[in-house]
Structure 1
Amino acid sequence: MHASEVMTSDVATVSPDTPLTTIAELLLSRHISGVPVVDSGGTLVGVVSEADLMWRAGGEGTEHRSWWAGLLAGRPLQAADFIRTHGTRAADIMSRDLITVAEDTPIEDVVDLFERRRVKRVPVVRGGRVVGIVSRSDLIKTLALQRPPGDSLVDDRLLQDRLQALLAAQPWLDIARVNAVVENGTARLSGLVGSDTERRALHVAARSIAGIRSVEDNLTVGVTPMGGV
């Protein structure tokens, strides 16, 4: 499965000159957490997220730095802080460190990108232009709710891949300490979880995969080290 199969194609975009008030209204009306910024030629140049808007609304930055922190930051960084805390357009606060994928990027790579870069969404681009966007919710819905065609049996390996991809996308789970395999339609869970709530959530995740008929629980509830160490 590739990004093109799960992405949302009806993508809202804004220009670098779009007022922040307009962007805030757009996020609320579309129930989205971020919006791509494109130039007059349609090329992706940045992304404005809820976090960017909250940073602006909260007035974080230069006025909250201590005298020593301001001195160490230097004038260029102080100026950049001022722009982010006083800007009025998308170009003033947008993230320019673009994280994108192509239409043929495997879903496994998208999941890995979400985990490594701690992002909630990623634009899908073709020739620098946005053709779609994949969010965590898009990915989880597709992986968890996808139904096998007809009454045909689903290969255990495919079910296992879907389950592992779903678990890898969860921020509450230390995936390195949990093992999930599927044999004859049964999800066998083992490893260490931090609470009984996590144990129950793993059961829910396994049962949400169409084709998994039962769950075998060999999990141990204990205290997981912070940071997955």
Structure 2
Amino acid sequence: MRALVVRGGWEGHRPVEATELFLPFLKDNGYDVRVSGDPGIYADAAEMARTDLIVQCVTMSEIGGDAVRGLRDAVAAGTGFTGWHGGIADSFRASSDYLQLVGGQFATHPSKEPGACAGGPEDNFLPYTVEFTALGAAHPITTGLDDFTLTTEQYWVLHDDLNDVLATTTHPAPPWHPWHRPVTSPAVWTRRWGAGRIAVSTPGHSLDVLEHPSVRTIVERGMVWATRTASAS
């Protein structure tokens, strides 16, 4: 099996260090791993055709039209696509074609009450619970896991119903924010695109979150699940 790790974009998500956490897992599970710092590699049709899994960690950044088309075509032909947090759900904001492929786009991460905010990134670190759905209880990526709580960025995600949602998180409606009732967002989802499989986990802002046992399990199982299957090759 061939895995392509594509990393870069905003340095706040530590794309090199974050992806390095998972390289031993991939290699120990029989993947031949290539690493690229340029999403332009998606435009290389020959490289995509021999890639069974793409692991992406590229927050924001830009992508060319040929690369987006190459990525969409590769997934439709059976290449798996996976990632976590902003590295997959907040990538290439200007590309609606990328957004349609992934099925979820970061919108915001609500903050603490104004009096508790000091002006740093920790203003958005809130305790929240990841709750598994009935589908998640039976899915290979999340089966056997219990609901768990994190204190980190809680992603509010814009999404559609092509996603198979394995876990959710609910944003409360405190008086300092303008929404009037709790809002539930997908926290873990999968998506089928042609012959390909996509797996997304929104937890993963920092290395300590990625090292949380449940988060790491979800990411690693997501890699295996998304990998091109014999029937998709």
Give the TM-score taking structure 2 as reference length: 0.24
Higher RCO (C-alpha 8 Å, min separation 6)? 2
Return the structure number with greater helix share: 1
Return the structure number with greater strand share: 2
Structure whose alpha-carbon radius of gyration is higher: 1
